[in-house]
Amino acid sequence: MIQEENDTIAVTISPSYPNGQQLVGFMTGIANLGVLNSTFLPGAYADHATSFAGTFDYPSQTKMSTWIGQGATATSGTICEPYAGSAKFPSAYTFLHQQKGLTMIESIYLSVQRPLQLLIIGEPLANPYKKETQP
């Protein structure tokens, strides 16, 4: 569990796919994905943080568009691989930023230290946790 400003987010860390569940987000480091038998809820971000997810002419790894096909609202992938540095991938803070009411694009970019190699697809303005403001 992560607790931030009296809001609680349940986080599951597992060595296997969370099959049969409803997901608000998903991150893994597996280069070749199978079918995820879960349902992505509106606003869900999914990522497999591998070197060639955004390089569509390099067939050895699952492409990031697979997440969109499985129902995720947005995803990202790197477009080149000089090194497998973690700073070029979104971190799990993406979910915390979303929960605080930021848009998908804001949440992703705030969780990446070096976004120069990152391609984002999906709905950038998705905001499932937007805080309602009073007039």
The pLDDT of residue 4 is 46
Asked whether residue 109 is assigned to any structural domain, the reply reads yes
Q: Total structural domains in the chain?
A: 1
Asked whether residue 132 is assigned to any structural domain, the reply reads no
pLDDT at 1 over 50: no
pLDDT band at 119 (very low <50, low <70, confident <90, very high): very high
Mean pLDDT value across the chain: 84
Asked whether residue 34 is assigned to any structural domain, the reply reads yes
Among the residue ranges 21-25, 61-65, 83-87, 118-122, the one predicted with the least confidence is 83-87
Cα gap 37→116, rounded to integer Å: 32
Domain housing 17 = 2-122
List C-alpha distances in Å: 71 to 83, 100, 101, 107, 116: 30, 22, 21, 19, 26
pLDDT at 65 over 90: yes
What b/e readout covers 103-133, taking b as 16+ CB neighbours within 10 angstroms?
bbbbbbbbbbeebebbebbbebebbebeeee
**Which token pair is 113?**
């230290």
Percentage of the chain modeled with pLDDT above 70:
89
Asked whether residue 108 is assigned to any structural domain, the reply reads yes
The pLDDT of residue 3 is 41
Asked whether residue 88 is assigned to any structural domain, the reply reads yes
Asked whether residue 128 is assigned to any structural domain, the reply reads no
